[in-house]
Amino acid sequence: MERPPAPVNPEVALATARYWKKNVVIMAVLLIIWASVGLGAGILFADSLNAYHLGGYPLGFWFAQQGSIIVFVVLILIYALLLNRLDRAHHEDLVALGQANGSAA
């Protein structure tokens, strides 16, 4: 027989909800940037971007072949850095709640 889940401190639940909301916002913004660069610059705006050159190649071609991949890797780095900062802040919130309530979080 399964044990019922332990009661959750409402303040901890609120802190966790804030953490996930910020995480989803970060992911959504980064995915929109990636889609804009990958689809927008590589396909939709390629003709107008081809008026400019980067490294001897038309910019639209460059984004379709190299740019979207480079942007994707940079976005992964940005996500890792932002989530490290968010995780650290969330951990500090949980530790503060644990000390304020007299129990470990």
* pLDDT tens column, 57-90: 888 888 888 888 899 999 999 999 999 999 999 9
Across the chain, what does the average pLDDT equal?
85
**In the chain, which residue ranges form alpha helices assigned H by DSSP?**
10-35, 46-49, 59-62, 68-101
Reported as a single tens digit per residue, the pLDDT across 33-66 is 998 888 887 788 888 888 998 888 888 888 888 8
What does the angle CA 33 – CA 53 – CA 32 come to, to the nearest 5 degrees?
Answer: 5
Sketch the domain layout of the chain as residue ranges: 11-100
CA 9 vs CA 12, 38, 51: distances in Å: 5, 43, 59
